[in-house]
Amino acid sequence: MYCFDSAARQSRGRSARGLLGVTLAMLVLAPQASQAGSGEPAPFDRPQQAVVSPGVDAGHAHLPEVSSLATLVEMAWARSPQARQLEGAAREAQTQAEAAGAWFPAAPTVSLGQRSGSRPGQRPLREQEVAVQAPLWPLGQRSASQRSAELAQAYAGAAVVAHRLALTRQVRERVADLALADVRVRQARAHLADLEVLEADVKQRVRAGDQAESDALLVRQDVLLAQTEVRQAQLDQMEAEHAFHVLVGEARPPSDVSSERLESMLPPINEAELSLSVDEIRQRLSQHPAMLAAQAAAEQQAVRQDLLRRGASAPWELGLQHRRDQEADVNRITPSWGISVMIPLAADPDRRQAAVAAQTAADVAQAEARRLADQLETEWLEAQQGVRHQQAMLDHMQAASAAAQTRAHWIRKAYALGEMSLTERLRAELSWQQAASRVMQQRAWLAKARARLSYAQGAQ
């Protein structure tokens, strides 16, 4: 199996050595006074223009492009096996509510019978009998069943909302991963394009006898390493697109995952929400969809345990019989009515086993609810700090990028006047490119942090 992370680390190491090679190659270049005098821009004058937009994966080029968050979440919901399970649980809860509102805990039965014959020395007889047997609700069991059905419906509804919230978070994270992969591809292609321009210039100088053949070989080595970087970045991008398609299915990610696109997929966050106390966080977490689902599940299991404890024995059954005797030779009919009650004398072993299982399920549901409360609280606090730090890092990156751009502009002017070496200009332009790329990467990391905080807050 190919290891993307290991290859990415190797490519970053080769990138560092490649940049050193570019610097060494540029050290031997003479300042291009004629080019500066003619007003033509140098290869590194505008690093953003060297960026080539990433291509679309050929295997998914025929799919429609979807950029709406709501549409992507609906597509992920349609593909989720857990969503099908939750929808089935909702239907089961509705059926349970209907059964809890019935007159009897189980279906009544009707029996029909007829006998005919005669005894020695007696007239022939013909007997007909109709009997109805109906189970009875134990005391308090019907109300407990209705309460259990209500909690089952509440759990099903809350679980659906919680799963949609989790899918929303996953979609946002997948889009942010696509943005990160897109930035890496753009950066790698821009670096390769600049090296190819440099290689062409070095080859021209080698043919003119101004530089040695070893300089061309050194630049060629860096070009090959840069091509490897581009391929590795494309593999990482394909991996991010694959994860996106596994989640949402037949859809193509947005072709331009910009910072504005990421912002549009996230709910707004103000400073007050990043400064909530622990007590305020706990109060708001009590209304989190996942917490509501866990609480409803724990309460439902407790009611179910009490329900099975009350009904450890089989239910009583009330019977009503009607019998009609008819003597064949005299055509005389004698009707009679009867009533009966069937009372079980011992507990049903299956029901006792179900009661023990319900006790275990109730204990597990309560433990899961407590653990989920701690987990959501920890995730909220960590997400708060994560957003704060990522936002601060973005501010620093933007300031550093602006400073690098200004410095590159000044050094470009000084180089044109012959007051700065080519080495300094190369370093300044490379620093500007890297700073601009880090800003775009940091925006994607901030989007992932905000997606995590939105999930912890229960916000769609």
pLDDT tens for residues 363-396?
888 898 889 888 888 888 888 888 889 889 989 9
- Residue 28: per-residue pLDDT: 35
What mean pLDDT, rounded, does the chain reach?
Answer: 76
CA distances from 249 to 49, 237, 258, 340, 410 (A): 34, 17, 22, 62, 50
Query: 305 falls in which pLDDT band (50, 70, 90)?
Result: confident
Cα(68)–Cα(90) distance, integer angstroms: 28
Query: 350 falls in which pLDDT band (50, 70, 90)?
Result: confident
pLDDT tens for residues 413-460?
887 787 876 557 667 777 887 888 888 888 888 888 888 888 888 776
Residue 13 has pLDDT above 50, yes or no: no
- Residue 204: per-residue pLDDT: 84
β-strands 332-342, 317-327 pairing: antiparallel
Strand partners, 318: 134, 341
Strand partners, 23: none
* Selected residue with higher pLDDT from 94 and 325: 94
* Selected residue with higher pLDDT from 269 and 112: 112
Residue 345 has pLDDT above 60, yes or no: yes
Q: Do 28 and 215 form a contact (C-beta atoms < 8 A)?
A: yes
Residue 38 has pLDDT above 60, yes or no: no
- Residue 254: per-residue pLDDT: 67
- Residue 52: per-residue pLDDT: 35
The percent of residues above 70 in pLDDT, for the chain, comes to 78
pLDDT tens for residues 189-242?
887 887 787 788 778 878 888 778 887 888 788 889 889 989 998 998 889 888
Residue 61 has pLDDT above 50, yes or no: yes
Cα(424)–Cα(26) distance, integer angstroms: 10
- Residue 454: per-residue pLDDT: 82
Residue 269 has pLDDT above 50, yes or no: yes
Q: Do 356 and 415 form a contact (C-beta atoms < 8 A)?
A: no
Of the listed ranges 52-66, 109-123, 325-339, the least confidently predicted one is 52-66
- Residue 259: per-residue pLDDT: 59
Residue 20 has pLDDT above 50, yes or no: no
Q: What pTM did the predictor assign? A: 0.67
Name 68's Cβ contacts closer than 8 Å, sequence gap at least 6. Answer: none
Domains in the chain with CATH codes: 4-101+137-312+347-457 (1.20.1600.10)
The percent of residues above 90 in pLDDT, for the chain, comes to 4
- Residue 380: per-residue pLDDT: 87
Residue 118 has pLDDT above 70, yes or no: no
- Residue 276: per-residue pLDDT: 79
